[in-house]
Structure 1
Amino acid sequence: MSTMDVHPLIGSSTKVAQGYTHPNDYGYYGDFGGAYIPEMLHRNVEELQAQYLEIMSDPAFNKAFRDLLKDFVGRPTPLFLATRLSQQVGANVYLKREDLCHTGAHKINNTIGQILLAERLGKKRIIAETGAGQHGVATATVCALKGIECIVYMGEKDIERQAPNVARMRMLGAKVVPATSGSKTLKDATNEAIRDWINNPNDTHYIIGSVVGPHPYPDMVARFQSVISEETRIQLKEQTGSELPNYVIACVGGGSNAAGAFYHFLDELSVKLVAVEAAGHGVHSGMSAATTALGKPGILHGSKSILMQTEDGQVVEPHSISAGLDYPGIGPLHAHLFASGRGIFMSATDEEALRSAFEVSKLEGIIPALETAHAFSALKELKFNANDTVVLCLSGRGDKDLATYMNAMGPQ
């Protein structure tokens, strides 16, 4: 496939799921997906299902989206050959620098797309959920850009450990509402956002931050984030002579950065796709978020996927030092990649992620987000050939995690 043949960012509907890239018309990737929603949300979700592909394929919408990605977000982001890290790993490691996006992470790609979509649908109020706060900041940013009311739900625990991002959201004019139930993290923030949407179905658009939720959200978010792999193919061609790497590695909570990094490689079966989950204190410690290792099929937040649950179907509380990976499920696309064997699923503990973050900072002069640090940990576990090309999605910068990093360093 040549550079010019890369699938368009926004495509048309499919009657049958085509390879791994698109779900079928009911929103299923293999056995996973769909829309499991309360009656009060049927109108909202059906409105999105009926219109999202038509709106997203409109040339005027695409131009507005592309212009903002270029002039507001700062795309394309660089593809950086990490030479010292490459020497240590024994392969050519390229970092897709999503940390250099405006707001410091990949999340802005999706919120730009969804705010333009919300405008087309005539919505006057935006709600969102956030864990690490990057999606909340990105949502608050685009709402400020467009002058639209913004409410962000965030777990009380995450508000404490991600204070800089909470301050950014409030400075941008968003109202940050704490979720005080359950583990007081991302799952609970999502629950609160869904309740809000049920109570305000007419004027409100819910900007979901990951490839989770009822159809069409997993497909819609993946399409907006697919700009990551679209650019990667072009940049690899320029730098190496080939569009196709041997490996693409990304961290996975719900999985939006991974979906974007994988998207234009999903049906290129020579490319190994590596998803790295959060093992917390250890996969079987009881304090983990390694969904594919511990989970089984079930329904969570509007779709069928793989999630951590008890024998009677109650959701198991996850744990990760990283707020963005502290989620008990994965998106249905990733569940399909796992179940089908297309994806390689690994996990990294809190300690391994911290160790990788410090190593990368000293080797390459880049302080990664704790989420991305989990992906870096996989480099030690995989066996590469010397001429392998490895692309790692550096999903966000580590500014928001400095308090955690300082605590790990101890007194100086």
Structure 2
Amino acid sequence: MKNTFTSALPDAQGYFGEYGGSFIPEPLQVIMDDITASYLEIRQEPGFIEELGRLYKHYVGRPSPIFHAESLSASCGADIYLKREDLNHTGAHKINHCLGEALLAKKMGKKKLIAETGAGQHGVALATAAALVGLECDIYMGEVDMKKEHPNVVRMHILGARVIPATHGRKTLKEAVDAAFEGYMNDPVNQFYAIGSVVGPHPFPMMVRDFQSIVGNEAREQFQEMTGALPDNVVACVGGGSNALGIFTAFLDDSSVQLHGVEPAGRSLEVDGEHAATMTKGKPGVMHGFKSYMLQDEQGEPMEVYSVASGLDYPSVGPQHSYLKDIGRVNYSSVDDREAIDAFFSLSRQEGIIPAVESAHAVAYAMKMGLGGEKGSILVNLSGRGDKDIDFVVEHYGREYGIT
């Protein structure tokens, strides 16, 4: 794997324009500074790069392929291609940064990996990486999500992780992050908080993006090899935003490529607490140690959020996304629950690919682009597969689609 860990942003303080930074207590800042220094050093080491590349190839199964979804394309008048991150070991893009974080933690002498998870894919990937490198692992997960994504909870237990329920608030992703930070503060010296997206205090938005950039680097080369050109559009779902930045980063300098981030409109974009469309409805604020767009009340406190996709119901977003929104490089739109579930079944029944409900938001947006008259090529980052979602989807939507 070539060394792709280069970017002009963030600056030395972790800012992407006015977003990012590190808003944490001074004792924890000392720990973060150590992580930053260790990461900046290790990402230049040939041995680390070679080891990560070896694991990507022989353990994860990279490169993940690009597939031309011809039947889906024909049904909506688009030309849709899928970057198949769902085919990775553990079933999603999350394994890309989890392996990097686990190797870094091991080299820093940490004893335990700790993290939050929403849909469970980050938790499964981190538990997998912890088992591989020989570290303990604690995963915090909202009690609601533990029931909703039960197969992934079982996987984490099998892999040897301890799954700790977050039982306050809405008992979903935001509360899992709260609980994980609290658990981390009990022993930040021996634990490594492996944040699951491009969020949190510096260096995590940079570090997770860097590890995920392999998705876009592969896709850019593969798409040109397959078609002789770059895609006209690249589409990805956005919660925290790791899979989106993973594929967007390689195309940021290509003005001919339109980038589309798709947020969850949930049940209603017009009702507070019924969506998680941070970029569409939020404004700048500070949460979980970083500044970014966030959904907040009049007192500046995070609002309750909702999405049918557990991995997208977060009231903030990665700071680089906020910067890309402000400079107009990425178009951020939203897809509601109904559109996402329709896309879930459309892709399943027309192409034989069951997507994660998170990824179905991006598929739905690509389908809408085609039905709306888009004639250019559309590359969708299919960031995960739907194994974890099938029980929930069948229970709540099965009858509508002929499943009894």
Query: Is the CA contact (8 Å cut-off) linking 1:41 and 1:197 kept in structure 2?
Result: no
Q: Following the alignment from structure 2 to structure 1, what is the Cα–Cα distance between the partners of residues 278 and 257?
A: 23
Query: Is the CA contact (8 Å cut-off) linking 1:74 and 1:101 kept in structure 2?
Result: yes
Query: Is the CA contact (8 Å cut-off) linking 2:366 and 2:380 kept in structure 1?
Result: no
Paired amino acid for 2:254:
E
**Post-superposition shift, 1:127?**
0.3
Alignment of 1:115-154 (within 5 A): 115-154=102-141
Classify 1:134/1:220 alpha carbon distance in 2 versus 1 (closer, same or farther; 3 Å): same
Aligned twin of 2:74: 87
Paired amino acid for 2:366:
L
Q: Following the alignment from structure 2 to structure 1, what is the Cα–Cα distance between the partners of residues 71 and 218?
A: 24
Q: Following the alignment from structure 1 to structure 2, what is the Cα–Cα distance between the partners of residues 333 and 185?
A: 24
**TM-score in terms of structure 1 length:** 0.94
Q: Following the alignment from structure 2 to structure 1, what is the Cα–Cα distance between the partners of residues 219 and 373?
A: 20
My pick for the range that moved more, 326-335 or 31-40, is 31-40
Question: Residue 378 of structure 2: SS of its match in structure 1?
Answer: strand
Identify which of 186, 197, 214 aligns with 1:199: 186
Identify which of 39, 48, 54 aligns with 1:52: 39
**TM-score in terms of structure 2 length:** 0.96
Identify which of 218, 222, 238 aligns with 1:252: 238
The alignment status of 1:398 with 2:399, answered yes or no, reads no
Query: Is the CA contact (8 Å cut-off) linking 2:340 and 2:364 kept in structure 1?
Result: yes
Classify 1:385/1:377 alpha carbon distance in 2 versus 1 (closer, same or farther; 3 Å): closer
Paired amino acid for 1:96:
K
Paired amino acid for 1:246:
D
Query: Is the CA contact (8 Å cut-off) linking 2:3 and 2:49 kept in structure 1?
Result: no
Identify which of 245, 250, 268 aligns with 1:264: 250
Q: Following the alignment from structure 1 to structure 2, what is the Cα–Cα distance between the partners of residues 178 and 153?
A: 6
**Post-superposition shift, 1:183?**
1.2
Aligned twin of 1:3: none
Aligned twin of 2:359: 372
The alignment status of 1:155 with 2:150, answered yes or no, reads no
Paired amino acid for 1:41:
L
Aligned twin of 2:101: 114
Query: Is the CA contact (8 Å cut-off) linking 1:128 and 1:152 kept in structure 2?
Result: yes
Paired amino acid for 2:166:
A
Question: Residue 225 of structure 2: SS of its match in structure 1?
Answer: helix
Identify which of 204, 208, 212 aligns with 2:195: 208
The root-mean-square deviation of aligned C-alpha atoms, in Å, is 1.4
Q: Following the alignment from structure 1 to structure 2, what is the Cα–Cα distance between the partners of residues 91 and 76?
A: 25
Q: Following the alignment from structure 1 to structure 2, what is the Cα–Cα distance between the partners of residues 99 and 7?
A: 23
Query: Is the CA contact (8 Å cut-off) linking 1:94 and 1:391 kept in structure 2?
Result: yes
The alignment status of 1:344 with 2:339, answered yes or no, reads no
Alignment of 1:67-106 (within 5 A): 67-106=54-93
Give ranges in structure 1 of 5+ residues lacking alignment: 1-5
Q: Following the alignment from structure 2 to structure 1, what is the Cα–Cα distance between the partners of residues 337 and 30?
A: 41
Aligned twin of 1:409: 398
Identify which of 304, 309, 312 aligns with 1:322: 309
Aligned twin of 2:285: 298
Paired amino acid for 2:398:
M
Question: Residue 30 of structure 2: SS of its match in structure 1?
Answer: helix
Question: Residue 119 of structure 1: SS of its match in structure 2?
Answer: helix
List, as ranges, runs of 4+ consecutive aligned residues in structure 1 with deviation greater than 3 Å.
383-386
Q: Residues 27-57 of structure 1, C-alpha deviation per residue, up to 9 Å, x if partnerless? A: 1111111011122311210111222122111
Q: Following the alignment from structure 1 to structure 2, what is the Cα–Cα distance between the partners of residues 335 and 182?
A: 26
Q: Following the alignment from structure 2 to structure 1, what is the Cα–Cα distance between the partners of residues 45 and 386?
A: 36
Aligned twin of 1:226: 213
Q: Following the alignment from structure 2 to structure 1, what is the Cα–Cα distance between the partners of residues 78 and 145?
A: 36
Q: Residues 112-162 of structure 1, C-alpha deviation per residue, up to 9 Å, x if partnerless? A: 111111111111111011000000000000111111100000011111101
Query: Is the CA contact (8 Å cut-off) linking 2:362 and 2:380 kept in structure 1?
Result: yes
My pick for the range that moved more, 250-259 or 79-88, is 79-88
Q: Residues 192-244 of structure 1, C-alpha deviation per residue, up to 9 Å, x if partnerless? A: 111122110111111001000001100100000000001001111210112x2
Question: Residue 381 of structure 1: SS of its match in structure 2?
Answer: helix
Give ranges in structure 2 of 5+ residues lacking alignment: none
